[in-house]
Structure 1
Amino acid sequence: MIVEQNVPLQAHNSFGIVAKARELVRVRSEDDVLAVLADPELAAGPKFVLGGGSNIVLTGDVKCLVLKVEIPGIRVVEDGPRATVIEAGAGENWHDFVTWTLEHGFPGLENLALIPGSVGASPVQNVGAYGVEVQDRFESLDAIHLESGRVFTLNAAECAFDYRDSVFKHSPARTGDLGLAGRAIILRVRFRLPKPWRPVIGYVDLARKRVETGVDEPSPRQVYEWVCAARQHKLPDPRVLGNAGSFFKNPTVTPEQCMDIIAREPNIVHYPMPDGSVKLAAGWLIDACGWKGKSVGNAGVYEKQALVLVNRGGATGGEVVTLARAIQTSVYERFGIRLEPEPVVV
């Protein structure tokens, strides 16, 4: 274990915000975590787990110990007649992992292509796109507790997945509660890819591609390419224009609330949900408030997609947070809806 000092974090957060970690340890195995816990000084202090950095807003230098997860490895755990189970180290790049599964003949994750971040972060956020969420393909994960050093395994039910949510985003309300925010590091994640493979192409962008290409039964690779093309058209590449993807969750309301809004805003984009609630398009709400293309300092709202906040060059975390709060205020004043950010503010 090597403790690095004053490590620049600009390359380790997709917003490209300039900040430093006062101390950083690169976690490439569970032994690195155990070494941290065996050091009396490091074990006692606060810690911040950093994966791919695609879901954070840094508002200054990180003063606590940063545990940078870089655990590698991909392997096929099981390849049976009904499903293939594949395990990936938490430090693997998510898009590269999705690409690997296709290249090796294991489809099922193609709708989640080009989502920035790491494999270990994917269940934390329950990432999803184009009709598929991680929970739909999740088998189990291994994690290590940051107090006891105990390695444990969680299945899907124990992860308490919800819309962009999991047990890893919640702190325990009482002693004995399972909330694991800041209390564990994910080491490995396993995904169950069902057989026979069936394309998930009901999402409007993919349905449009189906019509445009005249391909009624696309291959996994074609779905992958459609998803990549759709994301590249609507979303900026973080390597070119810093961003954290969709900044706000799509809010859900009751049917009565939705009808009330429709009476005032007939064109609002909304989707009925299986539980009877109605999901509203946060990007539409933000755009309706006139924020698309606007900026606060060097932080701005992307011209092609109002749901994405971007770093126009030299933006601070404070500017991003100020812009986000201004958007929240506008949406609440016009629609009576509180938008919830997806990224974690550090």
Structure 2
Amino acid sequence: MVVEKNVPLQPWNTFGIAARALNLVRIREVADLLQARSDPALSQAPFFVLGGGSNIVLTGDVKPTVLKMEIKGFRLVEETAKAWIVEAGAGEAWHDCVAWTLRQGYPGLENMALIPGTVGASPVQNIGAYGVELQDRFESLDAVDMATGQVFTLTAEQCAFGYRDSVFKHGAPVTPIEREGVQPLGLAGRAVITHVRFRLPRPWKPELGYLDLERRRAEAGIESPTAQQIFDWVCEIRRAKLPDPAVLGNAGSFFKNPTVTPEQCSDIIAREPRIVHYPMPDGSVKLAAGWLIDACGWRGKTIGKAGVYEKQALVLVNRGTAQDSVTGGEVMTLAKAIQTSVYERFGIRLEPEPVVV
């Protein structure tokens, strides 16, 4: 276990916000987690798990003990006639995981290429893009209960996946996880994911239901694209729409796409016929948060050193510099102003995606 004091976190959050960790522990194997939870000096404070730093807004120095997830490795666990079961360490970059599976001939994750963050964060957020969500490809995960030191495994059902949601984003249960098969009530601030396994279906078939992908397929004149071609198209689309955090600090999509009832959607359409909306399998309707923000005139606007990206109103960006960075307070002031505008015009409350620390 490697422990560091007073560590700058600016290089380790994609927004580029200047902040420090009072204590940071590099987690390179499960034993490091068990040692951290049993260390009297470290366990006095809560734990905060840091992966790729792509979904957080730091509003000051981090007082909880920061667990910097660096568990690495990829492997094929099992191959059957119906699926490849692949495992990745929680500290691996998500995009690297997608690229590795394709190089090995295990397609299925290509629609989620170039999503920032680490493998360990992917179930927490139930990441998704271009018609595929993590829950569609999930097999199981391993984690450590930091309250008890127990190492346990969860299935998809036990993870309680929802839209950008999971059991890891809700309050911890009062009692520990005592036996296999018990459904956790909430594991936020308690469980630390160490390994994630994916079920990649065989035979593979392309997922092309998303308009941007269908447009690329038509432009290329390819009737049946390969997984690699879909991977390349997704990377091109994302790079055209979203800023590179290495160039312009950001946390990706800042707000969740809200869902409304068909009646609410009809009412909004009567006032705003051009609103972008998508019917969902459960009968609800998903609205494009970026369109709502754009309609309120926020594209390209700034508050302090926090701004709204010119090419995609769903993305908030850092207009400062490495020496004079945006603060978490400026980011949240801008976010709250946007929320107020959207609510006043549409009666819809936007919910931020990033974790505010």
Q: In which range does the TM-score fall when normalised by the shorter chain?
A: over 0.9
SS of aligned partner of 1:32: helix
Partner of 1:184: 191
Partner of 1:276: 283
Give the TM-score taking structure 1 as reference length: 0.98
CA distance in 2 between counterparts of 1:55 and 1:90 reads 15
Please list, as runs of the form range in 1=range in 2, the aligned pairs for 1:57-68 lying within 5 A after superposition: 57-68=57-68
CA distance in 1 between counterparts of 2:251 and 2:334 reads 14
CA distance in 2 between counterparts of 1:85 and 1:216 reads 28
Cα RMSD, aligned residues only: 1.0
SS of aligned partner of 1:62: coil
Decide which of 213, 227, 236 is 2:243's aligned counterpart: 236
Please list, as runs of the form range in 1=range in 2, the aligned pairs for 1:267-306 lying within 5 A after superposition: 267-306=274-313
Partner of 2:161: 161
Kindly indicate whether the alpha-carbon contact (under 8 Å) linking 2:173 and 2:187 is maintained by their aligned counterparts in 1. no
CA distance in 1 between counterparts of 2:78 and 2:69 reads 25
Q: Kindly state the Cα deviation for residue 41 of structure 1 after the two structures are TM-superposed.
A: 2.6
CA distance in 1 between counterparts of 2:270 and 2:2 reads 61
Please list, as runs of the form range in 1=range in 2, the aligned pairs for 1:1-346 lying within 5 A after superposition: 1-172=1-172, 178-313=185-320, 314-346=325-357
Give the TM-score taking structure 2 as reference length: 0.95
CA distance in 1 between counterparts of 2:37 and 2:288 reads 44
Kindly indicate whether the alpha-carbon contact (under 8 Å) linking 2:108 and 2:200 is maintained by their aligned counterparts in 1. yes
Q: Kindly state the Cα deviation for residue 287 of structure 1 after the two structures are TM-superposed.
A: 0.1
* Equivalent position amino acid for 1:72 in 2: K
Percent same amino acid at aligned positions? 72
Spell out, residue by residue over 1:101-131, the C-alpha distance to the aligned partner (whole angstroms, 9 max, x if none): 1111110000000000000000000000000
CA distance in 2 between counterparts of 1:243 and 1:165 reads 21
CA distance in 1 between counterparts of 2:152 and 2:280 reads 34
Q: Please, which runs of 5 or more residues in structure 1 have no aligned partner?
A: none
CA distance in 1 between counterparts of 2:242 and 2:2 reads 37
Q: Please, which runs of 5 or more residues in structure 2 have no aligned partner?
A: 177-183
SS of aligned partner of 1:63: coil
Q: Kindly state the Cα deviation for residue 11 of structure 1 after the two structures are TM-superposed.
A: 1.2
CA distance in 1 between counterparts of 2:336 and 2:43 reads 35
CA distance in 2 between counterparts of 1:117 and 1:64 reads 21
CA distance in 1 between counterparts of 2:2 and 2:245 reads 29
Deviation beyond 6 Å, 4+ runs, structure 1:
none
* Equivalent position amino acid for 1:12 in 2: W
* Equivalent position amino acid for 1:342 in 2: E
